[in-house]
Amino acid sequence: MEMITILLVDDHRLLRESWYGILNSDPHFRVVGDTGDGMEAIKLAKNLQPDVVLMDLNMMPVDGYEVTKQLHKSGSGSRVIGLTMYNNVISAKRLLALGAMGYLTKNSSKEEMKEAIMEVQKGRKYICKEIKNVLAQQELEEDSEVSLVSSLSKREIEIVQYVKKGFSS
């Protein structure tokens, strides 16, 4: 297996240094650069042409969403995996729509991070287990809401609509 080159982008130096140590200790990976600045990340990605960019989403003044969009538009060939502390589905969908190939929360394990990098390098999208669990929970809640509404009589639905308008029951 060919070594996967990685660019680390996060505005927290300690996280970059930790990821650097984790990834470079594995013979499958080689970190070729790191930065805490979104604009510099775009330049580094163009110059270094890493296989994968691990991208923090919450940076200033240019956030990871914009950097991902710029990298995708430039056709750099680097595959972006977003890394964030937020476990909401909307952020994951937004990032993937901008051209990212993966989404991890910072609660993900180092094993899951390595798995995501390998999957994305193979051209497959990767969503972390935490987001998959949130999606599954939302799906279950939506199903139960639909079944609750469908179990109401026509009159009960009518009363609910009046209550929503501010009338008393």
pLDDT value of residue 56 = 94
- In this structure, are residues 23 and 6 in contact, taking their beta carbons and an 8 Å threshold? yes
**If we measure between CA atoms, which residue out of 78, 21, 8 comes closest to residue 50?**
78
Q: How far apart are CA 42 and CA 39, in angstroms?
A: 5
pLDDT (tens digit, 9 = 90+) per residue, 65-121?
999 999 998 877 899 999 988 888 888 888 999 999 999 999 899 999 999 999 999
CA–CA separation, 128 and 102 (whole Å): 8
Query: What single letter denotes the amino acid at residue 139?
Result: E
Q: Which of 113, 136, 117, 137 is nearest to 125 (CA)?
A: 117
State mean pLDDT over 34-52: 95
Q: Is the pTM of this model over 0.75?
A: yes
Residue 45: pLDDT above 90? yes
